């Protein structure tokens, strides 16, 4: 079995001036290039769910299911 290293990252850590303060999936390719350039091979996003209106956290779920 071989080993590899990577990052576990919350979506809100991937930020740009144009996002709403909760991160943006469109930033993932650039982050993946940076991760690969640093010699790592894995990215895991923490789970995200549909968020209620006026909520800023992508981890504040509407439902537990």
Residues in contact with 5: Cβ distance below 8 Å, sequence separation at least 6, in sequence order: 39, 40, 41, 42
Higher pLDDT, 44 or 55: 44
pLDDT digits (tens, 9 = 90+) for 6-23: 888 888 788 888 777 777
Residue with tokens 């894995």: 42
- pTM for the model stands at 0.64
pLDDT digits (tens, 9 = 90+) for 31-54: 999 999 998 888 988 766 666 777
Q: For residue 63, is pLDDT > 70?
A: no
């Amino acid at each position: 079995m071989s080993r590899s290293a990577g990052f576990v990252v919350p979506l809100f850590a991937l930020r740009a001036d144009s996002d709403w303060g909760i991160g943006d999936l469109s930033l993932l390719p650039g982050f993946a290039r940076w991760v690969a350039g640093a010699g790592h091979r894995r990215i895991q996003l923490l789970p995200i769910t549909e968020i209620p209106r006026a909520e800023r956290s992508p981890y504040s779920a509407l439902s537990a299911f």
